[in-house]
Structures are given as C-alpha cells and as structure tokens.
Structure 1
Amino acid sequence: MSGMAVRRAARGIRSLLPASADYRGLRRSWKGDLVAGITVGIVALPLALAFGVSSGAGAASGLVTAIVAGLVAAVFGGSNVQVSGPTGAMVVVLAPIIATHGAGALAAVGLLAGVMVLAAGALRLGRAVAFIPWPVIEGFTLGIAVIIFLQQVPSAVGVPATAGENAVVGAVDAVLRASWPEAAASLVVVAAVAAIMLVAPRIHRLVPGSIVAIVVVTAITSLAALPVATIGELPSGLPAPVLPAVDPAALVSLLLPAATVAALAAIESLLSARVAATMADTGPYDADRELVGQGLASIASALFGGMPATGAIARTAVNVRTGGRTRLAAILHAVLLAGIVLAGASVVAHIPLAALAGVLMVTATRMISPATMRSVLGSTRADAAVFVATAIITVSVDLITAVLVGIAVAAFLALRAVARSSGVHREELPGAAEAGDDRIALFRLEGALFFGAAERMLERVAALRDVDVVIIRMSQLQLLDATGAQVVTELIHALERRGVTVLVKGIQGRHLELARRVGVIDSLRHRNHLFDELPAAVEHARSHVRRAAAAL
C-alpha cells in the first residue's frame, strides 16, 4: 500500500472517531446544554423505565440502556445533538425476540447487532437511509405508534401480558381476561397520567409532564395503598460489564433477529439525526460516524445488561428545543440518569406499571401526526397505498418486513411511473415535404428506455408496415439501460430482416459506450447509418427512397 493510500485510510478512520471539534461551540452554549441535559434526563427517565418493561427485558435494562448507550452514542456518534437510548420502535422488535429466545439472549442479540451497525458505519453505508421513501417512513411510524399503544393495554387493565403475542391479539386478550373491579384502579392511574401529561405543557412548555405525572400518581397510589402492580426492586447501581455466555449453536439462530435489530437501529438513528440537523443550527451530522457510534453504544449496553439502542427523535427534539447545541447535553442526560439510579432506586421501585403504560400510550398518540397523515394520503394514490400498506404490515407482521415491502412497492410504483413517462412518438419529417416521404418513418424516443419501458417501444415500432426507412431519434433519452439497448438492437435486426433500412440519430455520449457494447451500432446495416444531426439523417433516408423508386 502506498504512503498516500495509508494517509487516506488514516484520515478515513479519524473521521469516524471523536475529536475536539465536537465541542467547538461549548463556550457559547454550555448554559443551554446544561439546561437541555437536565430536561432530557427528566423526560427520558419514565420512557427508559417504560420501554424496558414493555420489551420484556425489565425496567433496570431500560435504565442501563439510557445511561450506557446514551453516553457512548453521545461521545462517538455523528450528531452533535442526538440523544440515544431505548425507543418504542426497538421495543416493538425486541419483544417477540425476548418472547421466543428468552431474556438471556438479549445480550447476545445486542452484541451481534452492535457489531453489524458498527461494520455498516466503517463500510460507509450511512447514506443508504436516503433511499427509504417518505411514505414508508411515515407508514412504519404510524404502525409503531399503534403497536406501542396496544402493547400497554395489559398493564392498563392490570393483567400480565402474554409473551410473543401479536399486539392486536394481546390487547384483545388482555381486555377479555381483565377482572374489571380490580382493573378500575389501573385504568384510573392511566387516565390520571394521561391527563397530567396533556395539561402540563399548557402550564409551561418546559414542564416535563411525564415525570410530573409519574411523581403524582406514585405518591397517590402509595399513600392510598391502591392494588396496582409496581416496577419492583431495582439495582442501586450499574452492574459490572460481562460477556454473555452463548452456545455457538444458539448463536446461529440469533443472527437473523440481530440483523433485524441492526437494521432498525441504523434506520431509526439516521432518520433521527437527519431530522435533528434541520431543527436548529447545530452543525451537520456524519451518517457513517453515527452508525459507528450507535454500534458501539449497543455493544456497550449489551455488556452492561441493557438493550440495543437507537437515536430517539422525541428526546432529541426536546434536547434541541431546550437549548442543546453540543454533545455535552446528551452526556449530561446520561449522567443525570446514572445519579437517579445510584440515589433513588428505592423510590423508582414504587412506580406503578399502569403509570408507565399511561406514559407510553400518550407518547404513542403523539407520534401520530394528523397533518402528516393528511399530507401523505392527499399526495398521490401510489404514495397513499405505500403508506397504508407499510402501516398495516408493521402492525400485523413486523417492522422490518414492512419497511422492505414498502420500499419494494414504492420502487415498483416509481418504475411504473417512469415507464409511463417514457414515450415513442412518430413525427413529421422536417422541412418541405418531398415525394416518397410517406415511405420514411421518424420516431422520437424520450424519457427512460429501460427494462420497464423498452417492450412498449418494440411493439410500437415493430408494427410498422409500408415503409422503406425508419429513423430512430435517441437524443431525447434521459436513461438507457442494458435492456433498453438490447431492445433497440433487436428492433433494428427485425426491421432490417424485413428490408427496412434503419438510421439512428443522436445517441448521447453517455449512452454511446453502452450502445456499442450491447450491439446497437453493429446491428446497423452500415456505419454511415449513425448520425449526429437530424437533417443529415433525413436526407440520407430520402436518398434511399429515391434509389428504391428508381430501381422499380
């Protein structure tokens, strides 16, 4: 390897690592970062507990994830304001994995997924998220919101959730199993939490409604000794890091779940970072470094007994709106949560599970934007269909399947639209008409001539009768792929076999090499049948017609 290549590789590696430039604006923004870090920490506490419980990993796992992954992602990630931790989308994916493989497999899944995301960042795959269409993003966001809401129904009615059930089935089953006199207390807790969370922002936009609701409801249920289930005992500190003991045979069965988790972690984190970069002047984000940071965060979280993490758009938005401008805010949010674990674990243990369910139900409701739904549904029928299909598949199957199907359907519809915009048009010959012009057919190809549109062109031109010369104008083509070039080749061969002379005009320079390799040029009867200008091609065609007429 040359010295220049080594230096280039070294620069590439350095660009993925923390640098002093990450904190360049700290002198100006440290007060805002301090306020934002504390605010986000307060907001993140009930969400971390709730997402941990909802996933099946436990409240302690949710807290560990918010602390460890939040700190590592803040230091190593590619966004100055991204706040990472457990999220609703990740819970939706993790819950069936834990139900199938057990909570003991969580660490291995987190490690594998973290390595996959880290590798994706090292391979510079961060910009791939740009290929996910907007209707797909909004569709799985809606689906996730519905699943999160439905997953809270068992806790809301005071019955244990059945592991591994579809969210819709589980919600219906929980309502049927509920003992309504006892369920009333849980529903009152949920209603109280929801009411406080809805009223608090109207008092002041900085009032953390979720934490206020948790404090008020926990105090009331404890003093009144209401019969509601609580979080239970939590560790009074972070556990020591440990490598998971995994049977190699079992490891193979965890590869697919880990790949699903990795895909979600990458997609959600990059989407969150991209949105955050547009919310305020916080500097651009580095997509590849963001993947490296999120991969390291999930690895670290797994070692400490936590869950895989992603960038959290709701907490990131709170961070930006309350003044966060550098990584210090996200770091402080993790430090604050660590302090709560060390000093207040015994208090947190008394929080009712129904209160956490209420927090997540309100959070899920806020994820659904009626204005956005109207925009998507009112855009085009194709985009509306992709949006609805993605949301339904997310709820009924799983999120990754929904994203893949949504992308596939969107790609198909986009290709169909491009194919329909392509055209084959017969034109009049330029200039004054001459005898024999009716024996010449001039066709203009425009738009895209690719595998989705080429066959229509072949059918249109091949149906010609009673002509001696066909001129094919290709100067208006915006896209030509190998299939399109092959169809042109086949068309020329078919016409020439019928005694029709084919002239090609205006192959663009960017298409010429492909046309030559596929055989478009060689299929012409003579090299002189390739033209740059239309008048010359028309004059050549007329000379053919005149010679044919003279020969009769």
Structure 2
Amino acid sequence: MLRRTWKGDLIAGLTVGIVALPLALAFGVSSGAGAEAGLITAIVAGLVAAVFGGSNIQVSGPTGAMVVVLGPIVAAQGAGVVALVTIMAGVMVLIAAVLRLGRAVAVIPWPVIEGFTLGIAVIIFLQQVPSALGAPAGPSPNSLVAAVQTVAATDWAAALVPLAIVAVVAVIMVLAPLVRPWVPGSIIAIVVVTVVSTWLALPVETIGTLPAALPAPALPSLSGVDVAALLIPAATIAALAAIESLLSARVGASLADTGRLDPDRELVGQGLASVASGLFGGMPATGAIARTAVNVRAGGRSRLAAIIHSIVLVGVVYLASTIVATIPLAALSGVLMVTAVRMVSVPTVRRIVTATRSDALIFVATAVVTIAFDLIIAVGIGILAAGVIALRTLAASSGVIREPLPGDPKPGDERIALFRLDGALFFGAAERLTDAISDTTGASVVIVRLSQIRDLDATGARVIVELIEGLERRGITVIIKGIQERHLTLATRVGVVGALRHPNHLVASLETAVEHARSHIAREQAAGTVSPAD
C-alpha cells in the first residue's frame, strides 16, 4: 500500500505539520504548560501514536479538550506536575486497552458527543479572552466566570493592540480558504502579524525563548508532589484521551477507506503516546479530529503521513525556534478562537435540536454541564440522560393487548381472557404491563401469550411469576403460551414454570392453549367449582 500512497502521504504530512504548528504552540500556552510542551507533544506523541495506534490516518497531539482539563491542574499545582500527570494518564489508557474497553465509545450517543464538542469549543474560546485582551486571567477556576472577570478588569486602551492582532488573524484565517482551499490560513496569519509586530515593535507579549533541540527523556521528579492528589485529574485526562481519540479515529475512518480501525490498539497507541510525551516534558495527547480530517483531505492514506507531520515539527525546533519565539500570544489566541468557532457545526446543531425533544435536551444539558462543571461529568450525565430516555422509549413501545379467542365462539368463552404481551418485558416496563392483566375480572382462565416478547430480563420474568401467583390465589387458572426458546432458560430459573398450577399449562401453540382453557371451563361448569388441578 505504501508504494501507492507515499506521494499523497508526503504532501499530507507536510500540510498537517504546517497546520499543527500554530495549534500545538497555542494549546501549550493556553494550558499553562508552555509553548515548548505543546510542540514536544505534537512531535513525540504524534510519532508514537502513528506507529503504535489502531488507525492508519489518525494524527495525534495536544488538543483543546486537554487544554480545558490541564488549565485548572496547572493553576492548582503548577506546570511542574504536567509531565507526571501525563505519564499517569497514559498508563491508565494502556490499562483500558488491556481491558479491551476500546469499543465502549460506541455507546456514547450522538447528542452527547456534539454537546460535549460544543462545550469544549466555548471553553477554548473563553480561555483565550485574557491573551486576546492582553490582560491577566480572572481568579475563578471556571472559564466563563474568569472571562467575565478579565473583561471587567481590562485596560481597554492597552487592549487595542492585541485585539487588533486577533482580528487580523481571524480575518486571514476566514478569507484564506476562499482564495485556495488548501492555503494554511493560520500559518499565513501568524507570519503576517509576527512580521508586523516585530517591525513596529508593538507592545505585546510573545511566546518567548524556545529550546533549539528536543530535550532528553527523563522521569519527572516526585519531590514535593502529592501523587495521590493527581490520581483523579489523571483519570479524567485518561478518560478524555480515550474518548476523544476513539471518536477522532471513527471520524477519520468515515472520511476515507484506509483499512479497519482497531479501537483497542488505538488505546495502546494513545497510552504510549502520552507516556512518551510525559518523559520528554510534554502534555497529554489525543487523536485530533481537525488534524486527522486535514490529513485525509490532503491525501494521507497511511501512517507515513502522521510520521512526516512529526518530522516537519522537528525541523521547526532545530531550524526556526528563534523565529517562533517572536510570535505574539494574541496571534495564538486568534488562531484558537477561530478554531473553537469552527468546531461547532451549525447544520449539525440544527439537526439535533430539531430531531426530537429528548435529543435536544441531552445535547443542551451536556453542553451546559461541560461549560459549568466538568468534561467527564458532562459525558456521564449525558450518557445517563440518554439511557433513561432510551429506557422510557423502550418501555413505551411495549404493550399488552386483550385479544378475542380464535375460531367460532363457544359457550363459556366469556370466562377466558386472552392477552398478548408485545415489545420488551424488562424492569422498566414489566409491572406496568402485568398490572393490566392482574385487573382482569369475570375470567376463570387467563391465557398469556409471550411469543411476541422481544426482550426479557430477570425482573420481567419475576413479575410474570408474581402475576401467575396472584391470579392463582384468586382461583384463576393461568396458561402461558409461547415462551421463546432463548427466554425459556431464564424463565425457568426465575420460577415462571414452577409458578404454574401444572406443567401442562406451559404450551407451545395458541390452539392448544385455547383448547386447554375450554376444558377447564367445561369442568368448572360441570362441577360448579374451579378445578384445583389439571
């Protein structure tokens, strides 16, 4: 395959490397770990994930979601713990791979994913407000509150220059693709504002000194670090890394036919990528949806493209670190603000909010909780809400119908009640369905058809037992017709068969059930009592 795709991979790798440079620098600065950490992560993690991951086209590196998580950690414990928490998170992702949890992301509903994405986009945008205004960040750990605090304390005269830089960057990034779709607007924008800023000696803060070479790998120091306090942040990062990487890989797989995606191997690659990134002093890495999409659209079809992307960034470190150091921070803020806006697809949002009321509720709730509280909590609440709504929908699709007896009516048929259960008989619907049968009056025999039951759980089977026992205590004979073979073992173990007055009251055909019921009615009419046995 490589012989056929190497030219496209080479072009794609160069393109993604150019696109990734400003994002890596911006995410590093925005997280508090520094531009160097963002660049190291893009190089090291991008290379390791490309070699060991489960996707042929995934491009990994620092992402906005990680910035959102790392910001509070750096604010609370300092940038020195980033490498350690990165390694811890990487090990946790590797454990998830060993446990074969890679396919678990498939259970995350679409509205949750999009609400999560919207929330992250809003937080990324809000986090850029201080740099865009050239003002210190607000003291609140919440991005929305901190942004409001920053705006309230801003010196607007001093903010005009960084705001102008942000505006120029945004305009160039928006217009560049209109001229040529392949034009890297972010790079052009950064080059323009950096040249102008340096030439005019504008009073703006820049990235500052970067290393002229990659650092040697080393274990982070544990001196003075409360490792136990980092366990929950590391677990949050690990969960986020797994979710975002698998989602990104799924998106990439949908864009091009480049071979099967192995989700568990992808977790191995992402876990090793974060461990390697931490050893070199980088930050946590995930699969990056935007860079992966650029890779596919630029012609990338194998792992070579992501490897070349890392090599391009290595060239930047060794050949252009002095130039990169002069980039204004406001320019990186502009890049991230535009990136955040582009993360939100208006047509997608419109489809979700107009689909169903429950989908709209899940989408909005996930986004709001993401912005107001925590990313992983938001995903958990979104999945929980989706599960509850799905159970309600499933329960609503279940029903109980009283049917007439087949064939010509016979004397005594009015004493026989025939019910059909449809749908799913599970903990969310069982009691509601069987209540309708329990309320039967005027019947001596009740036939319950179970052949149309799609799903049966232990709670549903137990409710059938209670239904049988309740009717039998009232002197009503119960005949069960048509338990499917796949449900019979469960029904037997829970006691459905044992609760019947006689084993012959479990029948396979409706004709047999009706004939048996009529024989009971005939004996009752002859004796004037209900027969206690078959």
Partner of residue 299, structure 1: 275
Say which of 292, 313, 316 aligns to 1:316. Answer: 292
**Distance in 2 between the 1:423 and 1:248 partners?**
63
Partner of residue 532, structure 2: none
3-state SS, counterpart of residue 444 of structure 1? strand
Partner of residue 383, structure 1: 359
**Distance in 2 between the 1:423 and 1:102 partners?**
58
The yes-or-no answer on 1:518 pairing with 2:508 is: no
- How does the TM-score come out when normalised to structure 2? 0.98
Alignment of 1:80-99 (within 5 A): 80-99=56-75
Deviations 1:80-124 (A, max 9, x none): 110000000111111112212221211121111101111111222
Say which of 538, 542, 552 aligns to 2:514. Answer: 538
Partner of residue 456, structure 2: 480
Say which of 142, 146, 171 aligns to 1:170. Answer: 146
3-state SS, counterpart of residue 442 of structure 1? strand
Partner of residue 5, structure 1: none
The residue identity in structure 1 corresponding to 2:146 is G
Alignment of 1:309-348 (within 5 A): 309-348=285-324
Judge conservation of contact 1:462–1:494 (CA < 8 Å) in 2. Answer: yes
Partner of residue 100, structure 1: 76
Partner of residue 220, structure 2: 244
**Distance in 2 between the 1:415 and 1:67 partners?**
45
The yes-or-no answer on 1:131 pairing with 2:107 is: yes
Judge conservation of contact 1:87–1:310 (CA < 8 Å) in 2. Answer: yes
Alignment of 1:13-52 (within 5 A): 25-52=1-28
Change (3 A) 1:261 1:315: same
State the Cα distance separating 1:237 from its structure 2 match.
1.1
Say which of 244, 247, 251 aligns to 1:268. Answer: 244
The yes-or-no answer on 1:230 pairing with 2:223 is: no
The residue identity in structure 1 corresponding to 2:28 is G
Partner of residue 470, structure 2: 494
**Distance in 2 between the 1:54 and 1:330 partners?**
24
The yes-or-no answer on 1:75 pairing with 2:21 is: no
**Distance in 2 between the 1:406 and 1:167 partners?**
21
3-state SS, counterpart of residue 390 of structure 1? helix
**Distance in 1 between the 2:508 and 2:312 partners?**
71
**Distance in 2 between the 1:249 and 1:326 partners?**
41
What number of residue pairs does the alignment pair up? 528
Partner of residue 288, structure 1: 264
**Distance in 2 between the 1:463 and 1:197 partners?**
69
State the Cα distance separating 1:164 from its structure 2 match.
5.7
**Distance in 1 between the 2:151 and 2:19 partners?**
29
The residue identity in structure 1 corresponding to 2:185 is G
Partner of residue 254, structure 1: 230
The residue identity in structure 1 corresponding to 2:429 is A
**Distance in 2 between the 1:285 and 1:66 partners?**
22
Deviations 1:510-551 (A, max 9, x none): 000000000000000000000000011001101111111111
Partner of residue 188, structure 1: 164
3-state SS, counterpart of residue 450 of structure 2? strand
The yes-or-no answer on 1:145 pairing with 2:121 is: yes
Partner of residue 448, structure 1: 424
Judge conservation of contact 1:99–1:163 (CA < 8 Å) in 2. Answer: no
3-state SS, counterpart of residue 548 of structure 1? helix
Say which of 36, 39, 42 aligns to 1:66. Answer: 42
3-state SS, counterpart of residue 278 of structure 1? helix
State the Cα distance separating 1:466 from its structure 2 match.
1.5
- How does the TM-score come out when normalised to structure 1? 0.95
Judge conservation of contact 1:96–1:164 (CA < 8 Å) in 2. Answer: no
Partner of residue 255, structure 2: 279
* Unmatched segments (≥5 aa) in structure 2: 529-534
**Distance in 1 between the 2:467 and 2:522 partners?**
24
Tell which deviates more after alignment, 158-167 or 35-44: 158-167
State the Cα distance separating 1:373 from its structure 2 match.
0.4
The yes-or-no answer on 1:413 pairing with 2:389 is: yes
State the Cα distance separating 1:307 from its structure 2 match.
0.4
The yes-or-no answer on 1:527 pairing with 2:517 is: no
Partner of residue 211, structure 1: 187
Partner of residue 531, structure 2: none
3-state SS, counterpart of residue 226 of structure 2? helix
Judge conservation of contact 1:100–1:164 (CA < 8 Å) in 2. Answer: no
**Distance in 2 between the 1:281 and 1:488 partners?**
49
The residue identity in structure 2 corresponding to 1:140 is F
State the Cα distance separating 1:162 from its structure 2 match.
3.9
**Distance in 2 between the 1:28 and 1:490 partners?**
67
Judge conservation of contact 1:140–1:391 (CA < 8 Å) in 2. Answer: yes
State the Cα distance separating 1:163 from its structure 2 match.
6.0
**Distance in 2 between the 1:161 and 1:64 partners?**
25
3-state SS, counterpart of residue 378 of structure 1? helix
3-state SS, counterpart of residue 261 of structure 2? coil
Judge conservation of contact 2:138–2:145 (CA < 8 Å) in 1. Answer: no
Identical amino acids, percent of aligned pairs: 66
Judge conservation of contact 1:70–1:297 (CA < 8 Å) in 2. Answer: yes
The residue identity in structure 1 corresponding to 2:206 is T
**Distance in 2 between the 1:163 and 1:266 partners?**
30
State the Cα distance separating 1:440 from its structure 2 match.
0.7
The residue identity in structure 2 corresponding to 1:161 is A
State the Cα distance separating 1:249 from its structure 2 match.
7.5
The residue identity in structure 2 corresponding to 1:461 is I
Judge conservation of contact 1:441–1:469 (CA < 8 Å) in 2. Answer: yes
3-state SS, counterpart of residue 407 of structure 2? coil
Judge conservation of contact 1:99–1:164 (CA < 8 Å) in 2. Answer: no
The residue identity in structure 2 corresponding to 1:445 is L
**Distance in 2 between the 1:352 and 1:154 partners?**
13
The yes-or-no answer on 1:159 pairing with 2:135 is: yes
**Distance in 1 between the 2:76 and 2:222 partners?**
16
State the Cα distance separating 1:203 from its structure 2 match.
1.0
The residue identity in structure 2 corresponding to 1:472 is V
Partner of residue 403, structure 1: 379
**Distance in 2 between the 1:253 and 1:425 partners?**
57
**Distance in 1 between the 2:229 and 2:398 partners?**
47
Judge conservation of contact 2:57–2:292 (CA < 8 Å) in 1. Answer: yes
Partner of residue 348, structure 2: 372
